[in-house]
Structure 1
Amino acid sequence: MRTALVTAVAGAVVAFLLGLLTFGVQATVHPHDVPLAVVAPPPVADRVQAADSAEVDIRVVSADEARNLLRDKEVYGVLEIAPGQATIRLNPAVNPSGTQVAQQVLTGVAQGAGLPVRTETQAVSAAERTAPLAASALLWVGGMVAGLLFVVLKGRDLRWLSATAAAVLVTGSTAGLLAWWGVTLNVPTFAFLLAVATAFALLQAGLFKHLGIRAMGVLGLLYLMAPAVAGQVPELLNPVYRAVLWSWTPFRFSAEGLRSLLYDGSVSTEWWVFGGIALLGVVLLLAGKKAQTDRADGIVDVGVDQADGLPRAERQHTA
Structure 2
Amino acid sequence: MWKILRSRNFWLYTVLLFVVIGFFSFAQVASRNSLKVKKLPVALVNNSDKQYSKNLVKQLKEKFSSSESQIKFINVKNTSILNKGFTNKKYYAALVINENFDSNLSLQQNYLKGLIIQEKLSKISNQAILQSAQTKLQAEFAKKAVANLPKSGKVTVIINQGMNTQAAQVLTIALPKLMTGLNQGIAKKMKTVIQKNGISLNSSEWQSISNPIQSQMKIKNKIPEKSVSGTAPMIIVVLAWISSLIGSMLLWREHKKHSKNNKFSLVLINSQIITGAVMTLIASLSIYFFSSVIFGLPITNVSTFLTILAFNVFIFYLLQTCVLDWLGFAGWPLIIVIWLLSAGTISYAPEMLSPLFRQGVYSWTPMRFSMDMFTNNLYIHGSSVTTQTDFIVLSLIGVAALGLIYLSSFLKRKEK
**Aligned to 1:118, which of 208, 212, 216?**
216
CA contact (8 A) 1:202 1:278 kept: yes
Deviations 1:231-270 (A, max 9, x none): 0111000011100000011111011111112222321111
The TM-score with structure 2 as length reference comes to 0.66
TM-superposed deviation, 1:120: 1.4
**Alpha-carbon RMSD:** 2.1
Q: Does 1:264 align with 2:381?
A: yes
Unaligned runs of 5+ in 2: 1-6, 47-52, 102-151, 184-212, 259-267
TM-score (normalizing by structure 1): 0.85
Deviates more, 1:149-158 or 1:245-254: 149-158
Answering whether residue 259 of structure 2 is matched by residue 139 of structure 1, we say no
Matches within 5 A, 1:67-146: 67-82=83-98, 83=101, 84=152, 85-114=154-183, 115-121=213-219, 122-124=221-223, 125-127=225-227, 129-146=230-247
Secondary structure at 2:89's aligned position in 1? coil
**Rounded Cα–Cα distance in structure 2 between residues aligned with 1:140 and 1:182:** 19
Q: Find out whether 1:230 has 2:346 as its counterpart.
A: yes
Which of 9, 14, 17 in structure 2 is aligned with 1:8?
A: 14
SS in 2 for 1:90: strand
Deviation at 1:208, TM superposition (A): 1.3
Tell me the number of residue pairs that the alignment of Structure 1 and Structure 2 aligns: 295
C-alpha distance in 1, partners of 2:179/2:290? 40
Does the CA contact (< 8 Å) of 2:252 and 2:272 recur in 1? no
Query: Displacement, 1:8?
Result: 0.6
- Residue 175 (structure 1) aligns with: 288
Deviations for 1:202-221, whole angstroms, at most 9, x for unmatched residues?
22112211211112111112
User: Superposed, which structure 2 residues align to 1:195-210 within 5 Å?
Assistant: 195-210=311-326
1:57 to 52, 72, 92: 72
User: Secondary structure at the residue paired with 2:390?
Assistant: helix
Q: 1:280 aligns with which of 387, 400, 409?
A: 400
Q: Which runs of 5+ in 1 are unaligned?
A: 295-299, 301-319
Pick which of 280-289 and 133-142 moved more.
280-289
CA distance in 2 between counterparts of 1:182 and 1:22 reads 27
3-state DSSP of counterpart to 2:403: helix
Radius of gyration: which is bigger? 2
2:345 is paired with a residue whose SS is: helix
Residues of 2 paired with 1:162 and 1:30: CA distance? 44
Counterpart residue type for residue 177 of structure 1: F
Matches within 5 A, 1:232-251: 232-251=348-367
Contact 2:325 2:408 in 1 (8 A): no
Q: Conserved in 2, the CA contact under 8 Å of 1:203 and 1:278? A: yes
Q: 1:107 and 1:293, CA in 2 relative to 1: closer, same or farther beyond 3 A?
A: farther
AA at the equivalent of 2:280:
A
Q: Distance in 2 between matches of 1:291 and 1:118?
A: 67
Note if contact 2:280-2:314 (Cα within 8 Å) is conserved in structure 1: yes
Q: Of residues 362, 369, 373 in structure 2, which corresponds to 1:253?
A: 369
The 2-side partners of 1:166 and 1:250 are apart by 20
Identity of counterpart residues, as a percentage?
A: 19
Q: Is the contact between residue 206 and residue 284 of structure 1 (CA under 8 Å) also seen in structure 2?
A: yes
Q: Give the SS at the match of 1:113.
A: helix
In 2: Cα distance, 1:217 partner to 1:39 partner? 49
Supply the distance in 2 between the matched residues of 1:72 and 1:150 (Cα, whole angstroms).
39
Alignment check: 8 A CA contact 1:160 1:285 kept: no
User: What does residue 336 of structure 2 align with?
Assistant: 220
* Deviation sequence 1:98-126 (CA, Å, 0-9, x none): 22222222112211122443221243135
